[in-house]
Amino acid sequence: MQRRTRQGKAAAAQRTSSKKATTTQPTRKAAKPVVHTRGPDTQEILMGIDLGSSGIRATISPPDESEEIMMIYNGEDAADGYAFSAHGYVFDHFDDIDSAQIHKQSLDDDGRLSVSLKYAFYILSDAPKTLKKEYPLLRRMIEEDDRNREDFRRKLRLGLVQMFRWLIGKVEETIKTKRAPWRVGKLRVTVPSQWDLRFEGQYRSILAESFGWDAETAHDRIRFSFEAEALAHFLVRSKHYENEAIAQLKPGEHRVMLVFDFGGHNMNGCQYWINSKRGETLNFFRMGKPFGVGSGTEHMVDYILSACEKYRIDNHEVPLSDNAKAQLLVKIRSRRAHYGPGSPTARDEETFEFFDSGSNGIGGGAIRLTKDIIDQCWEKAFQPAIEEVEKRLKALAKSHKRRGRPNPLVVMAGGSLMNKAFGLRLDSLVQLYRLDPALLVNKRTGAAIGLQMRQAGQEEGRGDWDNKAYLLYFYNVEAKQEVFPTCVIPMQAGDRLRLVCDPFYGQDEVKKRGPLRGIDHKRSYDLIERLPLNPRNRQYECRVGFHDGGDKMAMTLSIVDEFPDSVWEIPLYFDNGTRCILPGKRGVPLRDAVPDLFLGLATEEDDEMEGSEDDVEMEDVA
């Protein structure tokens, strides 16, 4: 339950102006360029774009600078509601490329192998070989480009144009809801620090085609900024982080701020000199050039998939089809927060099952990788970033010791921080060089899930449930780690259980009362109205876990049984209206999204089935 830093970077970008598988889905005609006509009262607005390895986000800035920057909401997908798909079917075969639908418009898994369109820029921009070597995910794309350069590059470019036109359409839908005479007139776009003018030229050309602008217009309207720079601007301009950035400074004092942005596909960084607050402004400037290196969770996922391919060849002498790879990628990504040496939630062995029933299918199977193999994949993926971070921290600590300034500020953000082993390694480096704990941007703010009981014999009504819920999960804000307490409670016939969530557990006035032993029903909402019971046991043992896969989240619910444990995978999404994380899929009742969860619930004659998320009562969150 972590908010993504991509939101902050997309908004901050606006402030920095100072084998082939045949597709089984029907193709559609490519969208026409977006051509804007300007009426007499039309006002131009600024649009921010942040392209990540799995999702793309956008913001718009109203003409009135006093109005807040608006995130473009994706009501169809995304765990947090603001990410749009950045993947494409670039390895599929199409009889007519020009009319093919390359861009994958949904974040949901559809069984087809897709890749991040962000990597298309490395091919289209003819990136140097030394840079391409940092990105093992480019291997197949490079091979395809060598075999069929013209057609492959047409697919890459078309996929990108389709993605941006899809995003533009979402922006225009948002503008219509505001009934405002606005049109996008300028763009602020974030890019990795390794991208040079060749990348920017390709990016500008693709955006121009997407918006229907000529080259001269595009040159005037589009500005680029490095991702780490955008993050730094967001930090010092944000009211939430401004005081932390200048903490311990007296008037006239200065402080160094070292920023790291750990994305899924690479790490970016830069260093700033900040001045103490004067009036309502915070003065700062960049020290030296931004830096970056290919490293992150997407690299780890690719290395693990390669290990799966090797396992299949070594044990069965049959390669994996693209359909099988697509299934494996979903399963690998669902556990990517837990891989790595020292991770408290790592397993001794990971099992990845798949079933391929296509015409070129290889049947079902299971691939088992030991922890040693997973750890090797982790090391290869994260070692470049770890080495760069250590070099920068060492230099920062040496400079601070020599000059005697206030403690430097280390800032860390990005999706790769969700990997627990990586986060622990970074913490150890900060401690090694005796620096203050890093400021985590868009850090977890504390949340908890609990098991609430209604004891048998109590009457229906608002007061029939226990006032406190047993903790199954909470995020310890101070320790910066997830906690999964063991929950075993006595049960008798007629008892009922449900899951509740407190989004602000351990904060505000609650925090002042000291450590909490359970969730207060007055400041929680119903997550799952009714849980399946285990009639064979007199005590109930329940566990939850999370698969935080970037723009998709899922919760694992396990009930300990005399037989193999009952386990359900429950998708989660963020509902913007209630501002709550909810189970199931947007617009789909929970009992339809996870039907197995409700089998056998009503086991007693006088116990009618009750509760679906359609009629769950959301209690006010204090």
314-329 per-position pLDDT tens digit: 988 888 889 899 999 9
Number of separate helices (H) and strands (E) present in the chain: 15, 29
The Cα 287–Cα 268 span in angstroms is 15
Residue 99 near residue 572 (C-beta atoms within 8 A): no
Under the banding of pLDDT at 50, 70 and 90, the label for residue 163 is very high
Please provide residue 565's backbone torsions phi and psi, each rounded to the nearest 5 degrees.
-55, 145
pLDDT confidence of residue 219: 93
Long-range Cβ pairs for the range 139-146 (8 Å, 24+): 140/91, 141/90, 141/115, 144/90, 144/91
Residue found under tokens 């915070």: 282
Structure-model confidence comparison of residues 145 and 504, the more confident one:
145
Q: Which two tokens stand for residue 189?
A: 């776009």
Is 70 exceeded by the pLDDT of residue 100?
yes
Q: For the stretch 238-250, what's the b/e string if a residue is b when 16 or more beta carbons lie within 10 angstroms of its beta carbon?
A: beebeeebbeebe
Q: Which residues contact 318 (CB under 8 A, 6 or more apart)?
A: 312, 362
The Cα 370–Cα 615 span in angstroms is 44
Q: Which residues contact 393 (CB under 8 A, 6 or more apart)?
A: 258, 410, 429, 430, 432, 433, 435
User: Please, what is the angle between helix 149-178 and helix 197-211, to 10°?
Assistant: 60
Residue found under tokens 């903790």: 471
Burial (CB < 10 A; 0-12, 13-18, 19+), residue 187, is buried
Q: Which two tokens stand for residue 459?
A: 């009457």
Mean pLDDT, residues 422-436:
93
Q: Which residues contact 287 (CB under 8 A, 6 or more apart)?
A: 256, 271, 272, 273
The Cα 47–Cα 118 span in angstroms is 19
User: Please, what is the angle between helix 371-403 and helix 297-316, to 10°?
Assistant: 160
Q: For the stretch 304-316, what's the b/e string if a residue is b when 16 or more beta carbons lie within 10 angstroms of its beta carbon?
A: bbebbbebbeeee
Residue 470 near residue 450 (C-beta atoms within 8 A): yes
pLDDT confidence of residue 504: 75
Is 50 exceeded by the pLDDT of residue 2?
no
Which of 213-217, 376-380, 412-416, 511-515 has the highest mean predicted lDDT (pLDDT)? 376-380
The Cα 608–Cα 600 span in angstroms is 11
Mean pLDDT, residues 486-496:
77
Pairing of strands 481-483, 409-413: unpaired
Mean pLDDT, residues 466-476:
82
The reported pTM is 0.73
Is 80 exceeded by the pLDDT of residue 460?
no
Is 90 exceeded by the pLDDT of residue 202?
yes
Mean pLDDT, residues 346-350:
91
What are the beta bridge partners of residue 425?
none
The Cα 427–Cα 409 span in angstroms is 14
pLDDT confidence of residue 80: 57
In degrees to the nearest 10, what's the CA dihedral of 373, 375, 379, 380? 30
Under the banding of pLDDT at 50, 70 and 90, the label for residue 191 is very high
Burial (CB < 10 A; 0-12, 13-18, 19+), residue 194, is buried
The Cα 229–Cα 242 span in angstroms is 16
Residue 580 near residue 566 (C-beta atoms within 8 A): no
Domains and CATH numbers, the chain: 6-229 (no CATH), 238-442 (3.30.420.40), 448-598 (no CATH)
Choose the weakest-confidence range: 123-132, 262-271, 496-505, 542-551. 542-551
What is the number of residues in the chain? Answer: 622
- What are the distances in angstroms from CA 381 to CA 138, 163, 613? 14, 28, 40
pLDDT confidence of residue 313: 92
The Cα 468–Cα 514 span in angstroms is 16
Residue 501 near residue 474 (C-beta atoms within 8 A): no
Which of these, 309, 306, 304, 312, lies nearest to 340 by C-alpha position? Answer: 304
Instruction: Please give the single-letter amino acid code of residue 313.
Output: I
Is 90 exceeded by the pLDDT of residue 517?
no
Residue 210 near residue 111 (C-beta atoms within 8 A): no
Cα-Cα end-to-end distance for the chain: 19
Choose the weakest-confidence range: 42-51, 152-161, 406-415, 458-467. 458-467
Could you count the other beta carbons within 10 Å of the beta carbon of residue 80? 22
Choose the weakest-confidence range: 102-116, 522-536, 546-560, 602-616. 602-616
pLDDT confidence of residue 22: 40
Mean pLDDT, residues 233-262:
71
- What are the distances in angstroms from CA 616 to CA 215, 499, 603, 613? 54, 12, 21, 5
pLDDT tens figures, 33-80: 555 555 557 899 999 999 998 889 999 988 877 677 888 887 665 455
pLDDT confidence of residue 604: 36
Q: What is the DSSP-derived secondary structure letter of residue 203?
A: H
For the chain, give the mean pLDDT: 79
